[in-house]
Chains A and B, each alone.
Chain A
Amino acid sequence: GEQVEQLPSILRVQEGSSASINCSYEDSASNYFPWYKQEPGENPKLIIDIRSNMERKQIQELIVLLDKKAKRFSLHITDTQPGDSAMYFCAASDRNNAGAKLTFGGGTRLTVRP
């Protein structure tokens, strides 16, 4: 099955700087790559996703990049704020419809220092 590696596992940045999280996957059939944010005591929530027909997607301060050849994708948070402090999980899926399972990376604990 699919394997997703996520690095770094811990990331500390200064408020206002950028934070980058990198993921790699193994299955070339994967075509959907979401990112979930999990705040302490909360459930994971989708924050942004990208499909294999795109290389870049941006929603406000969130940018995701996808390199299909290298089987890598990344999340970049620009102008980080303390509220961005959370666990972040990348995931990959090989189906583009409801019901396909997501394989998650190990997670990145992001801390934004004021």
Chain B
Amino acid sequence: NAGVIQTPRHKVTGKGQEATLWCEPISGHSAVFWYRQTIVQGLEFLTYFRNQAPIDDSGMPKERFSAQMPNQSHSTLKIQSTQPQDSAVYLCASSLRQNTLYFGAGTRLSVL
């Protein structure tokens, strides 16, 4: 079991460019979560899917952030027109039961 796989590990974009982050959950896990981690804000919930259906996106900045889960083996988080304040580590996690989240290694996004 390779755990939750996130790619790329690091991404550098220029201000105004688009960034797409990928997540492959643990096989068989029914829920996929996206969190953003910064020193100032800590671990912020963004959105989650259960059985591929979007359940709660209350943490997503509405205008530029979007997330998809086209199949059970991967999810994407897309940020359009990236801004310096989007710089963070974006963590994907999956869970099977009882709320235990298994986090991936994260994607460190740097917006210059």
Contact = CB atoms under 8 A, between A and B. Distances in A.
Interface of A: 1, 32, 34, 36, 42-46, 49, 89, 93, 95-107
Interface SS majority for chain A: loop
A43 B104 contact: yes
Contacts of B45: 101-104
Contacts of A98: 29-31, 50, 95-99
Contacts of A99: 30-31, 48, 50, 55, 95
Given A46-B101, A98-B96, A104 B43 contact: yes
B48 A101 contact: yes
Contacts of B101: 34, 36, 44, 46, 102
Nearest to B89: A43
A1 B43 contact: no
B56 A44 contact: no
Interface string B44-69: 11001010000110100000000000
B23 to A, nearest CB: 12
